[in-house]
Chain A
Amino acid sequence: MSWNKVAVVGAGMTKFGELFDKSWEHLLAEAFLEALGSVDKGMNRSDINAIYYGTTMGSLMGMELPGGNIVSTLLGLTGIPSTRIENGCPTGSDTFRNAVLAVASGVYDVALAIGAEKMRDKSTSEGLLSLASAGHPILFRGGTAPANFAPQATRHMYEFGTSKEQLAMVAVKNHHNSTFNPKAHFRFEVTIDDVLNSAPVCTPLKLLDCCPQTDGAAAVIVCRADLADRYSNKPVYAAGFGVGTDYSLWHEKESFTEFAATRKAAKQAYAMAGIGPREIDLAEVHDCFTITEILTSEDVGFCGKGEGGRFVETGKSSLTGQTPINPSGGLLSKGHPMGATGLAQLSELYWQLREEAGGRQCAIRNGFALQHNVGATGIGTSVINILTIDR
């Protein structure tokens, strides 16, 4: 395949947390202004040719049929092309991918990829548990978010001996990482015992095995690679991406010890970037629950099948490890405002590749970083973006 290179020249995100005093619109504006302001050599708002925005909860939070103009208006960019992207939990990643495709096509020079979510305009139980009555009225009844990942944990523990302690280690690592991230929802350390003693949510997952409900927004600005020098001193580039899809009903799934969608997305992304897992310096992956990071480390090839527990246990995914995973604190500790998550992960990779990540900076050896989300109905959609910087 051949495609026009696309550069990432700006990134920004709001603080993630329970932001009761900030509206969805306010969060989007804040993220946009930070991203715009982050461009090294400056950028005029009028340089933006198209907006892609991601938000998933729209109609669960009183925003029915959200159209593109809602966001162009609130960003002061009324008139330009604006499109809502939605693809489950990978919404933010796919928003970015669509912006990249738009610029790679040659139709637009500069595009904005932005996402936001208000998860906390409803009580925790009402918001979190509203999923229990979504989907097929019988086949998905009672299917809360943790119930979509816990069966994989049970089976992985059964087949490979992955322990609840190893699951807890993911939470310990990511909470530690977020103490270096002023934007994170949570910024406190936890111990393995803290995790194991926390309230059971959906066996084998306990409260601290689960990400919180978070409000937040993030934005990334992309442009044609041949225009990057106009804006950036150290442009980052989109190296490749992939979208994997797996069967959408639980009884159709072939394996409960991996996410087939992630494996497919990874294959596509690596092929497009012309690299393999060993070239990845660090990754931001979808740790909505501790088990998800463990499975993902196997699914994207950082370790072998069944080895995910040992991978985190032996420190390979720590900030100083072989392949740091979730230096930002991950969804577990940084938070998971669904439409923003992928874009916040991409912002983290942008800062990491440019070596601007402060106390959580990871070693950049090859100049490649991977961003991953998995989710949607039946946890059957995964989007992976690989970013790179010239070394």
Chain B
Amino acid sequence: MLRTGIVSLASYIPATRIRAAEIAKFWGGGGSGEHAVCGSDEDVVTMAVAAAEKLLQRSGIAASAIDLLCLATVSGPYAEQPASNVVALAIGAREDVLTADHGGSPRAATTALLDCLGAIESGRARLGLVICSDYRIAEPGSELERTLGAGAVALLVGQEGVSVGIEETTNVTDLFVDRWREDGGEFVKEYDPRFHRQHGFGDLVGRAVVGVCEKAKLSLGDAARVVMAQPHRGYLDCAKALKINSDQLGGTDVLKRFGDLGTASAFMALGQLEGTHADDRVILVNYGAGGADAFVLRKLKPGRLEAADETAAKYLTYDQLVKNNQLMRKEYVIPPLSVPPISPYLWRSRRELLQLVGGKCRACGTVNFPQSLRKICIKCGGVKFTEVKLSRTGKIHTFCVNHYMPDGFDVPLPFIVADMDDGSRYASLGSGVDSHAIQIGDSVRLELRKYSAERGVSTYGYKFVPDV
């Protein structure tokens, strides 16, 4: 077994869902299950930050301890511009952290893991953070539209406090086009699912599983569990062909409940794995477009890697999805930000707006925020400050709900002023808040959201979400 392994894992799935049957009401045809959908102000970056913050909080590890941050995605905001850098800044990673953007196909999740393994085994790094985050969109009316889902999973990879050891790995690479999206293309496409499920996923995953078992001198029947990426129901046929019985196949809820999560699929299934004991062998296999990576893992601790997600789901109708994903566009101009997204104004504010840090006046204790606008204490006129993190949780002090907004704003739009847990106040737009039920005293939490995407550049900031 390698010294390096998975230390801990956390996931983020948006609360917004849509059922395949709902889509079928509009387009006809069938489809079962449901999938998660990014809220209109969420994206790969905001989901990645949410999963990473959950992980760091649960494991009690500081972002400053991370040496290598790998973001794996095939649906990030940019073809050229590292989304990993936004994530690194938002979580508070060190300036000398190495960031890497892994892509190409959902296989990127495990290439990112292998990247961390390589760096840590070689001694170049001590702690790695892998975040897999995807929300791919398919053409409206296509079959794929019924299954592509949104989610993110973050893993800490290191040599201390390992809970899942890595015994063996193998990789298989072949040329196979099953799902693809060309540069600049909006929609993921696929051709002939019956063909590619069998000869793409089926063959290559099969070879990877067999190969890793050989390498590890493990008979497949001796593995307590086999966990596969779940891009489509073909994974069940593949498992059958490998004679993996149904108690052995683990984490099988992911496709049914959340959809095809792309890079996040395999690790999401790993996190959901039930009923394992210490020393159980788990085979994990990830797949993407002609590539498969398989691992023989050993659970060092019993039980699930992550507790089941209890977030109440909010189901959309198809017309709500169309609006949410801007599938149908009016000829309108979304009001631009008051300064261009690449303005020095936003660059000056990048830390304070992405990490929510303010300056505590050394003379009177008042927290001044944002510091780029507050060089003199608003209360006492002091000029010396100590950097402090703003509180992220609080209760609504007052609010309003806007029903009349320019195009491009989600109406009804709540604006919330909250009494934060550290005694300060914060004011911000709300997101995912029930505008009809909102009350003074409700618990809220600040989470990163996308404020705008103009000139091809996305701008992120915090909004209040319900804190359950």
Report the bound CA distance from A154 to B427 in whole Å: 15
Q: Does A136 contact B (CB under 8 A)?
A: yes
User: What residues on B are CB-neighbors of A143 within 8 Å?
Assistant: 415
Please determine whether B403 and A141 come into contact, CB atoms closer than 8 angstroms. Answer: no
Those of A192-248 within 8 Å (CB) of chain B: 199-205, 247
Those of B416-468 within 8 Å (CB) of chain A: 417, 424-429, 440, 451, 459, 461
User: What residues on A are CB-neighbors of B399 within 8 Å?
Assistant: 151, 154
User: What residues on A are CB-neighbors of B409 within 8 Å?
Assistant: 132, 142
User: What residues on A are CB-neighbors of B401 within 8 Å?
Assistant: 202-203
Secondary structure of the B contact surface, majority rule: mixed
Residue from A138, A155, A203, A204 within 8 A of B440 (CB atoms): A155
Report the bound CA distance from A251 to B349 in whole Å: 17
Q: Name which of B163-171, B220-228, B335-343 contacts chain A.
A: B335-343
Please determine whether B403 and A201 come into contact, CB atoms closer than 8 angstroms. Answer: yes
Please determine whether B403 and A203 come into contact, CB atoms closer than 8 angstroms. Answer: yes
Residue from B339, B378, B426, B429 within 8 A of A142 (CB atoms): B429
Cβ distance B285 to chain A, nearest Cβ, rounded Å: 42
Those of B365-407 within 8 Å (CB) of chain A: 369-370, 373, 378, 397-406
Report the bound CA distance from A200 to B413 in whole Å: 12
Report the bound CA distance from A87 to B399 in whole Å: 26
Say whether, besides A147-B415, A251-B425, A154 and B400 are in contact (CB < 8 Å): yes
Q: Does B353 contact A (CB under 8 A)?
A: yes
Q: Does B241 contact A (CB under 8 A)?
A: no
Those of A100-145 within 8 Å (CB) of chain B: 125-126, 129-130, 132-144
Please determine whether B403 and A133 come into contact, CB atoms closer than 8 angstroms. Answer: no
Cβ distance B344 to chain A, nearest Cβ, rounded Å: 12
User: What residues on B are CB-neighbors of A129 within 8 Å?
Assistant: 335, 404-406
* Interface range for A: 35 or more
User: What residues on B are CB-neighbors of A249 within 8 Å?
Assistant: 369, 373, 427
Q: Does B2 contact A (CB under 8 A)?
A: no
Cβ distance B377 to chain A, nearest Cβ, rounded Å: 11
Please determine whether A136 and B338 come into contact, CB atoms closer than 8 angstroms. Answer: yes
Q: Does A374 contact B (CB under 8 A)?
A: no
Q: Does B345 contact A (CB under 8 A)?
A: yes
Say whether, besides A129-B405, A132-B405, A203-B401, A137 and B415 are in contact (CB < 8 Å): no
* Interface range for B: 35 or more
Report the bound CA distance from A202 to B62 in whole Å: 41
Please determine whether B427 and A139 come into contact, CB atoms closer than 8 angstroms. Answer: yes
User: What residues on A are CB-neighbors of B345 within 8 Å?
Assistant: 137
Please determine whether B335 and A151 come into contact, CB atoms closer than 8 angstroms. Answer: no
Please determine whether A252 and B378 come into contact, CB atoms closer than 8 angstroms. Answer: yes
Report the bound CA distance from A142 to B370 in whole Å: 18
User: What residues on A are CB-neighbors of B307 within 8 Å?
Assistant: none
Report the bound CA distance from A53 to B282 in whole Å: 78
Please determine whether A142 and B440 come into contact, CB atoms closer than 8 angstroms. Answer: no
Please determine whether B398 and A155 come into contact, CB atoms closer than 8 angstroms. Answer: yes
User: What is the chain A residue whose CB lies nearest that of B370?
Assistant: A139
User: What is the chain A residue whose CB lies nearest that of B358?
Assistant: A251
Please determine whether A147 and B400 come into contact, CB atoms closer than 8 angstroms. Answer: yes
Cβ distance A380 to chain B, nearest Cβ, rounded Å: 11
Q: Does B177 contact A (CB under 8 A)?
A: no
Please determine whether B417 and A251 come into contact, CB atoms closer than 8 angstroms. Answer: yes
Please determine whether B405 and A144 come into contact, CB atoms closer than 8 angstroms. Answer: yes
Residue positions of B touching A, CB distance < 8 A: 335-339, 345-346, 349, 353, 369-370, 373, 378, 397-406, 409, 413, 415, 417, 424-429, 440, 451, 459, 461
Closest 5 CB pairs between A and B? A150-B400, A250-B427, A133-B335, A155-B398, A138-B461
Please name 29 pairs of A and B residues whose Cβ atoms are closer than 8 Å in the assembled complex, sorted by A: A125-B406, A130-B406, A132-B335, A132-B405, A134-B338, A136-B338, A138-B349, A138-B353, A138-B461, A140-B338, A141-B337, A141-B451, A144-B402, A147-B415, A152-B398, A154-B398, A154-B399, A155-B397, A155-B440, A158-B440, A199-B403, A199-B404, A200-B403, A201-B402, A202-B401, A249-B369, A249-B373, A250-B427, A251-B425
Residue positions of A touching B, CB distance < 8 A: 125-126, 129-130, 132-144, 146-147, 150-155, 158, 199-205, 247, 249-253, 256
Apart from A137-B338, A251-B427, 12 more pairs, CB < 8 Å: A133-B335, A133-B337, A135-B338, A138-B349, A141-B461, A144-B404, A155-B440, A200-B404, A201-B403, A204-B400, A253-B425, A256-B397
